[in-house]
Structure 1
Amino acid sequence: MTGHDLSLLIVAVCGILLLVFLIVSKLRFHPMLALLVVSIAVGFAAGLDAKTVVDSIEEGAGGTLGGVGLQVALGAMIGKILADSGATDKIAATILRGSTNRTLPWLMGAVAFIIGIPMFFEVGLIMLLPIVFAVASKVEKQGKIKGSAFVLIGVPVIAALATMHGMVPPHPGPLTAIAGFKSNLGITMLYGLICAIPAAVLAGPVYGKFIAPRLSVCPDQLLLEQYTTSSIRGSEKKTNEASKYTAAAVEKPTVSTFTSFVVILLPMVIMLSRTLAETLFKNSIILNNITGFIGEPIIALLIGLVAGIILLGYGRGVDTKKLRDSLGTSLKPIAGILLIIAGGGAFAKVLVNSHVGDAIIHLSSGLKLSAIVIGWLIAALLSVTTGSATVGIVGATGLLAPLVGSDPSINKELLVVAIGAGSLFFNYANHAGFWLVKESFSMSMGETFKTITIIQSIIGLVGLVMALLLNLLPHF
């Protein structure tokens, strides 16, 4: 590790500290503005020229909006249609039926665990937000729990989605590591599930029960109204445009529970079809081309949205102008979220182009530890500094691939799981998921740290411990 590497690490750490200061101090910078200011400062401090700094900001923000941004927007529209039609209420009532406040977090975590099989973290969260808000609103209205019902219900969902995203194929990160190490897909998936279950449980329902009484989180009223139906809001006055369109929509014929579940699960099923085709029908080029296209998150969400418009809108005789205007209002509450996520993408890209990741690799290469621990550590450090779990996985895979090829004693499948767990560790301000959770639940920086950052740190550590324990057993 050189002096330049050390200086880059110091710049990255100072950049994150400056970001936190600008947001939480008396300066009260808007997160998007703070992210852009810090991105410029870190770029110049790391030695990038002015053009590279500007290009990095534009590329990072644009790339993030092109992916996560469109997914969030489509998910918000689906959530709005579900709420306006009363479908959210149907789904929430089904989940609440027969459950108690004690079992509900476990049930929501199980639902997210299943839905998270084919979905990216951000996509899964956007799809489940209407259900989380609807269920939490009903629980909070009962007044039987201490603290925030939104944290109690939301934490298990966040934990399950994050765990599946990083540790279990067929998500892109684990698949990349499997390809790099030439690991067995089936065994890796089995190990991943064995490690993921205790991680999701401890970081989800268990941690949620501990932290919920200590927080008073409640989403922004506009966003809450967008994702919940009039029956949940009770007798509150409908004073804004979004509420007016909601009231107009729910006067139409009642939506069946079956149709409600079809609309919300359709994108997941489409994305899962891609995974199944790639796994079970590798030789079918036509099938893989079709499922590969429709299985892209943006396309799957678009199909789900169109299906929702037809089944929950046109099919119920909803006025088309009101339907269009209602979809338009769904984008207003998330506009700020999209811009903040774009700022996070800009910050992450500046860190990548500053070669902070190279400094992390140089730091890790001199450590004398087992391959599983080294892989976890490299993935964790790269993910923390670059703001991308995928970068963490790809970097760790590239560094350890020669070692895996030369040492047959290394359990390649457990190494994949460990690297995936490391990539989840300490999700913070340069991760898009951090800002998505923060703004969706209207949390402060401290509250967001106590939720998603701690959640993913627990997942990362439990994943590492489980991988090390399984490594003590006879290998498949």
Structure 2
Amino acid sequence: MTGHDISLLIVAVCSILLLVLLIVSKLRFHPMIALLVVAVCVGFASGLDTESILNTIEEGAGGTLGGVGLQVALGAMIGKLLGDSGASDQIASTILKRSTNRTLPWLMGAVAFIIGIPMFFEVGLIMLLPLVFTVAAKVEKQGNIKGSAFVLIGVPVVAALATMHGMVPPHPGPLTAIAGFKSNLGVTMIYGTICAIPAAILGGPVYAKFIAPRMTVRPDQQLLNQYTALSVESKGKISDQIDASNFTAATVEKPVSPVTAFIVVLLPMLMMLSHTLAETLFKKSVTLNIITGFIGEPFIALLIGLIVGIILLGYGRGADTQKIRDSLGASLKPIAGILLIIAGGGAFAKILVNSHVGDAIIHLSSGLKLSAIAIGWLIAALLSVTTGSATVGIVGATGLLAPLVGSDPHINKELLVVAIGAGSLFFNYANHAGFWLVKESFSMSMGETFKTITIIQSIIGIVGLIMALLLNLLPHF
């Protein structure tokens, strides 16, 4: 390493510290503003001229938002359609039908795992709360479990939703890293799913079985009445069999069939995987690879999935077209802040590349022989813990490591994406929005919330890293 490399590394470290300071200090900068301010400071500190700084920030923000923004917006619309049409309830009812107390935590995790494919963590949890409270209330009335039935049923849902949100496309975090590293989407989905399953199991049903007997959590009765009154029709004596056939919200008219619900949820994911499968199994079929390459592009796959969803979940049910339009428009409001943070992260990442800070990181890592996967996980974890934003953790780690990935063809870019996503989930605490959503939804104390979502996501983050490192030892796709 040269003296110039050392000075650039100091700039990189100072930029991260400044980013954290602006977000978590009394200044309380919005993450997007903080990222842009830090990007400008890095540009000046590294010697870029004013025109280069301006062009780089515009190019980074625009390029990242163009590559990820539409995908995030389309995914939010699909999620909204699933909720409004009752499709999510149908999926849940199908999986939970004739389940028992012993299998319920596992099946609830499976429900959240599938529903979490196109949905943000917060949206998925809000949608599943009626089902969680309904099932937990039934289990509680039976009186044959120790501790909190709401923790036993809720923990697997929180774990599955968090795992999918951080580690598996088409969620915004993984998509941002995929765009930054130019990773293969289909391979990333495969790796992400492989890593997500054990993480969701250990952080979900396994941990729920351990922690539930040690807690007495019960949501506020008024909140219970609000959720369960609309989603459950009493059928007399409660048995060991949990009948999920009546879980569909009463407010949904003409609910869709379970088959239709599964088609809409899984279609975009299958199209994204199609190109990878065609490249692997049918390399000589040029036409097939052209077709799958087109429909497997995230933007196209999600667009097709959305159109199919509008037809099957909207027009096919005779829903009012103006209501569909208004509902899809409303789905974009909650993600506006996320999109702006992603844009700011793209500007920060591009500045790091053009100022050659990344080159200094390359020289450092080559000298110390550090694993890119471990470095990515650690950076994402530190940024997420300190700033309270998993998105900031992912975009920051992506920006710092993009030059390293570009210079070393031996790095498994897809596993690096998964590792960074896992790192961003680690130690979700009081500066994360998800922490407060879980706390208030289940009427928990700070200590109880720490024992649930904070520990859950820490388990997920560590298991995700271990799985990524193990898979990195195997031959790559």
The one-character-per-residue Cα deviations of 1:427-459 (angstroms, maximum 9, x if unpaired) are 389xxxx9xx96678779x99987768744542
- Structure 1 residues 68 and 461: alpha-carbon distance in aligned structure 2, compared to 1, 3 A threshold: same
Deviation at 1:12, TM superposition (A): 2.0
Q: C-alpha separation between the residues in 2 aligned to 1:300 and 1:271? A: 6
Counterpart amino acid of 1:295? G
Per the alignment, residue 128 of structure 2 pairs with 135
Secondary structure, aligned partner of 2:362: helix
2:95 pairs with 1:86: no
TM-score, L = length of structure 2: 0.66
The one-character-per-residue Cα deviations of 1:65-116 (angstroms, maximum 9, x if unpaired) are 212211111111111111111112112223343557875665566678889x
Q: C-alpha separation between the residues in 2 aligned to 1:308 and 1:93? A: 19
Q: C-alpha separation between the residues in 2 aligned to 1:233 and 1:355? A: 59
The 10-residue stretch of structure 1 (329-338 or 382-391) with the greater mean CA deviation from structure 2:
382-391
- Structure 1 residues 18 and 382: alpha-carbon distance in aligned structure 2, compared to 1, 3 A threshold: closer
**Do 1:421 and 1:461's aligned partners in 2 also have CA atoms closer than 8 Å?**
no
Deviation at 1:158, TM superposition (A): 3.8
Per the alignment, residue 389 of structure 2 pairs with none
The one-character-per-residue Cα deviations of 1:375-402 (angstroms, maximum 9, x if unpaired) are 545666898897355984883574365x
2:344 pairs with 1:359: no
Q: C-alpha separation between the residues in 2 aligned to 1:230 and 1:12? A: 54
- Structure 1 residues 230 and 80: alpha-carbon distance in aligned structure 2, compared to 1, 3 A threshold: farther
2:119 pairs with 1:126: yes
The one-character-per-residue Cα deviations of 1:12-64 (angstroms, maximum 9, x if unpaired) are 22222222222222222222222222222222223222222222222222222
2:435 pairs with 1:426: no
Report the number of matched residues: 406
**Do 1:424 and 1:457's aligned partners in 2 also have CA atoms closer than 8 Å?**
no
- Structure 1 residues 340 and 99: alpha-carbon distance in aligned structure 2, compared to 1, 3 A threshold: farther
TM-score, L = length of structure 1: 0.67
Counterpart amino acid of 2:83? A
Q: C-alpha separation between the residues in 2 aligned to 1:273 and 1:105? A: 32
Q: C-alpha separation between the residues in 2 aligned to 1:348 and 1:366? A: 23
1:153-302 to structure 2, matched below 5 A, reads 153-159=157-163, 198=198, 201-202=201-202, 231=230, 252-302=253-303
1:100-119 to structure 2, matched below 5 A, reads 106-107=106-107
Per the alignment, residue 51 of structure 1 pairs with 51
**Do 1:379 and 1:392's aligned partners in 2 also have CA atoms closer than 8 Å?**
yes
- Structure 1 residues 190 and 232: alpha-carbon distance in aligned structure 2, compared to 1, 3 A threshold: closer
Deviation at 1:130, TM superposition (A): 5.5
Per the alignment, residue 333 of structure 2 pairs with 332
Q: C-alpha separation between the residues in 2 aligned to 1:330 and 1:54? A: 32
Secondary structure, aligned partner of 1:278: helix
Deviation at 1:305, TM superposition (A): 0.6
Counterpart amino acid of 1:324? R
Q: C-alpha separation between the residues in 2 aligned to 1:45 and 1:70? A: 33
Counterpart amino acid of 2:408? L
Q: C-alpha separation between the residues in 1 aligned to 2:211 and 2:343? A: 29
2:464 pairs with 1:459: yes
The 10-residue stretch of structure 1 (193-202 or 78-87) with the greater mean CA deviation from structure 2:
193-202
Secondary structure, aligned partner of 2:9: helix
Q: C-alpha separation between the residues in 2 aligned to 1:296 and 1:453? A: 32
Q: C-alpha separation between the residues in 1 aligned to 2:211 and 2:49? A: 44
Counterpart amino acid of 1:135? L
Q: C-alpha separation between the residues in 2 aligned to 1:463 and 1:160? A: 15
- Structure 1 residues 233 and 299: alpha-carbon distance in aligned structure 2, compared to 1, 3 A threshold: farther
Counterpart amino acid of 1:74? L
Counterpart amino acid of 2:76? A
Deviation at 1:418, TM superposition (A): 7.3
Per the alignment, residue 69 of structure 2 pairs with 69
Per the alignment, residue 31 of structure 2 pairs with 31
The 10-residue stretch of structure 1 (311-320 or 348-357) with the greater mean CA deviation from structure 2:
348-357
Counterpart amino acid of 1:289? I
The one-character-per-residue Cα deviations of 1:295-323 (angstroms, maximum 9, x if unpaired) are 11110111111111111111111121222
- Structure 1 residues 201 and 127: alpha-carbon distance in aligned structure 2, compared to 1, 3 A threshold: same
Secondary structure, aligned partner of 2:337: helix
The one-character-per-residue Cα deviations of 1:332-378 (angstroms, maximum 9, x if unpaired) are 222222212222222222222222221121112223x5xxx645456
Counterpart amino acid of 1:464? L
**Do 1:293 and 1:299's aligned partners in 2 also have CA atoms closer than 8 Å?**
yes
Counterpart amino acid of 1:395? L
Q: C-alpha separation between the residues in 1 aligned to 2:77 and 2:251? A: 16
Percent identity, please.
54
Q: List runs of 5+ in structure 2 lacking aligned partners.
A: 138-147, 170-176, 220-225, 234-249, 381-392, 439-448
Counterpart amino acid of 2:263? V
Q: List runs of 5+ in structure 1 lacking aligned partners.
A: 116-122, 166-170, 179-184, 219-224, 235-248, 402-411, 472-476
Q: C-alpha separation between the residues in 1 aligned to 2:117 and 2:35? A: 25
Deviation at 1:461, TM superposition (A): 3.9
The 10-residue stretch of structure 1 (203-212 or 450-459) with the greater mean CA deviation from structure 2:
203-212
Counterpart amino acid of 1:73? A
Counterpart amino acid of 2:119? I
Counterpart amino acid of 1:311? L
**Do 1:106 and 1:205's aligned partners in 2 also have CA atoms closer than 8 Å?**
yes
Q: C-alpha separation between the residues in 1 aligned to 2:56 and 2:152? A: 39
Q: C-alpha separation between the residues in 1 aligned to 2:284 and 2:264? A: 31
Q: C-alpha separation between the residues in 1 aligned to 2:37 and 2:232? A: 39
Q: C-alpha separation between the residues in 1 aligned to 2:157 and 2:464? A: 18
Q: In structure 1, which of residues 369, 387, 399 is the aligned counterpart of residue 396 of structure 2?
A: 387
The 10-residue stretch of structure 1 (382-391 or 276-285) with the greater mean CA deviation from structure 2:
382-391
The one-character-per-residue Cα deviations of 1:241-293 (angstroms, maximum 9, x if unpaired) are xxxxxxxx955322111111111111112222222211111111111111110
Q: C-alpha separation between the residues in 1 aligned to 2:86 and 2:357? A: 48
Per the alignment, residue 12 of structure 1 pairs with 12
- Structure 1 residues 196 and 390: alpha-carbon distance in aligned structure 2, compared to 1, 3 A threshold: farther
Counterpart amino acid of 1:23? I
The 10-residue stretch of structure 1 (32-41 or 313-322) with the greater mean CA deviation from structure 2:
32-41
**Do 1:109 and 1:205's aligned partners in 2 also have CA atoms closer than 8 Å?**
yes
Counterpart amino acid of 1:286? T
Q: C-alpha separation between the residues in 2 aligned to 1:385 and 1:129? A: 18
Per the alignment, residue 407 of structure 1 pairs with none
Secondary structure, aligned partner of 2:76: helix
